[in-house]
Amino acid sequence: MSLPTRRGLIMGAVAAAVAGPAIAKVPPVIKLPGDVQTGEAATVMAVRTVSAAVALTFDDGPHPRLTPVLLDMLKARGMRATFYVIGDRVRRHPGLVQRMLAEGHEVGNHSWTHPVLANLGDQSVIREMDDTTRAIYSVTGKVPVTMRPPYGALTFRQRHMLYHRRKLPTILWSVDPQDWRRPGAQIVAQRMLAGVKPGAILLAHDIHSPTIQAMPAVLEGIVARGYRAVTVSELLGWPKWQTRNFVLKAS
């Protein structure tokens, strides 16, 4: 089978349509589905917990230059994160995905071509997931146990379809700093830290320099508030992601 070409990566059609000067207060362009309810097994925006813990999540990598810098920052502070990686980038940068695993991070599925999955049929959605799961498995020997849809765009029916067919809960977020608009490192850090509370899931992208520049302040701010940064699986109270066993079924 020939691999699909990567298209419409993060700054694709959706971002291009809203390009313009970054302003501090903007309505979310990447809208979460309106039917999301917290606590539903197939869809997670945040986790109800009394623990002072948050999940840092980084989408769209791995990036050959920026992701190692971020991994260094996390390692120096003993903090863990979850990386929602793009399958085609896993194929091109396998060593970085292996390093994520070795350093205690979680690797999740963010599709192969970064499409608007809500526009695709079930077979195409399954193929986006399976191709990426295979890529992650081929370099780490482990299967991702959570997924994040590009742009947060997955319908209620699709989320349940994936949950039942692939045991993949859809992980959305409770904090979106809109870092892909490049508002500046300081604003990214402010927005992320403003959302730190028990069970929060923080969204960011490890493919933008200002996001990486914001991270020392974000990581230190999390610690200063008395919080731990854990993986999504840990926040959900699951065993470590790499210890869970899921069978990759042929579709």
Among the listed ranges 55-63, 100-108, 161-169, 194-202, the one in contact with Zn ion (CB under 5 A) is 55-63
Question: In terms of CB distance, is 115 or 227 closer to Zn ion?
Answer: 115
Report the nearest approach of Zn ion to the CB of residue 114 (Å): 6
**What does 4-29 look like in DSSP terms, one character per residue?**
PPP-S-TTSHHHHHT-S---SS---S
Distance (Å, rounded) from C-alpha 123 to C-alpha 169?
A: 17
Does 88 help bind Zn ion (rule: CB under 5 A)? no
β-strand 201-205 against 43-44: which pairing, if any? Answer: unpaired
Token pair 């999940």 in the structure block, residue: 55
Does 60 help bind Zn ion (rule: CB under 5 A)? yes
β-strand 170-171 against 43-44: which pairing, if any? Answer: parallel
Q: Which residue is nearest to Zn ion (CB)?
A: 59
**Which tokens go with 172?**
């959305």
Residues written for the chain = 251
Question: In terms of CB distance, is 53 or 97 closer to Zn ion?
Answer: 97
Query: What residue ranges in the chain does DSSP mark as E strands?
Result: 43-44, 53-59, 82-85, 106-109, 170-171, 201-205, 228-230
Q: Would you call 72 a catalytic residue per the annotation? A: no
Report the nearest approach of Zn ion to the CB of residue 52 (Å): 28
Does 179 help bind Zn ion (rule: CB under 5 A)? no
Binders of Zn ion among residues 114 to 173 (CB under 5 A) are 150
Report the nearest approach of Zn ion to the CB of residue 198 (Å): 26
Question: In terms of CB distance, is 59 or 88 closer to Zn ion?
Answer: 59
Out of 33, 59, 80, 200, the residue judged to bind Zn ion by CB under 5 A: 59
Spatial contact of 199 and 48, defined as CB atoms under 8 Å apart: yes
Q: Would you call 59 a catalytic residue per the annotation? A: yes
Question: In terms of CB distance, is 59 or 234 closer to Zn ion?
Answer: 59
Binding site for Zn ion (CB under 5 A): 59-60, 150
**Residues with a known catalytic role:** 59, 205
